[in-house]
Structure 1
């Protein structure tokens, strides 16, 4: 099995060198970048499996870089943040980060998070292959979802990119329209055995998906919140 390729993005040279050495000792291939320009260049060359991204950097910060990675359907992202407030961590997750680690941290904690995210990615890739094999084309309101190409298409022909997690969540909603699905059910459908107790990532994924399919994400009409129950996809769906 080939080594996973980790990209370290941090303006602090000491942190880059420390983590690059540590992760290399644990059989990972590591590249590093000190700013967004270098990160984009390395991403354009492909073969990156996961990005460890510092939140607070001069120039283009980690949040905008994380948004870019999600827009191009890039690899998973673990945010490094010196802020401990929950609100700052939630913002990073809503931008598309898969996990976060608060500075100062012990390297083995970051290593454990990297392993967990990569395991989820492998599980998602396998599930995605099964979904694509059985996929057709779904239609709802002004949208269609081409499962074989994993493309969300608006009625005017505009293509809206979806991350793997967003695609899987939307497919689950389309398979169960007008039915209340609890967070636990959504986790089970999208993550399977990788789902963890008290995992709140579904809320973040729903938030990101609403920004792509709702006319007004603050007042959603497609993906409705059912208080105490979970979420319901309200549109009529055809195949």
Structure 2
């Protein structure tokens, strides 16, 4: 029995050693695994993220004193993300799952009483020059604070203003394009037609569609490493004199 367990342990060690040698391990912040097909016809990156949040509230009485402190701590976000391309880098995909209670937001009759695990499930096709077609469920082209990934926010939560006016995610298609008006001036246009019911809706569609768009003007060019979609200036942009 001991010999069988020892043999099994050696086989598992050999398997994980060979797997770790084949996997291209990325640097910190670039995912858990980066996989590439031998013929370079597909790729996959696996990443995970979690964010914790704690808060304390007090009650102010008539004398101006604060009493009855309440403390709360929770897993604000817990995400699994998969992205890469198939056949060609021009045909890419993204799948992101939310695992925390705040990510799931509970089931309802509109989601067949199922948790809303899927955040993003979208295919992106660069079909001609600077034109790209997105099909699936993903963020709509709304305000800047909303399109910034939660992993790139400066704080854990977005503002109350965003909570009132956000477009969030929906199922539909998006047409994206960018052009260089000058050597530095970049213009991006995004048009979207979506179902208008929110994410993971299976029944109860009220009919009609939601139309949204976004125009981005970058007169000084793109930011370092896409830092325009970051809540803080982590790349330390150079001054333009």
Task: Answer yes or no: same fold by TM over 0.5.
Answer: no
Tell me which protein shows more helix as a share of its residues.
1
Question: Which of the two has higher C-alpha Rg?
Answer: 2
Taking CA–CA contacts closer than 8 Å with sequence separation of 6 or more, which of the two structures ends up with the larger relative contact order? 1
Q: TM-score, normalised by structure 2?
A: 0.23
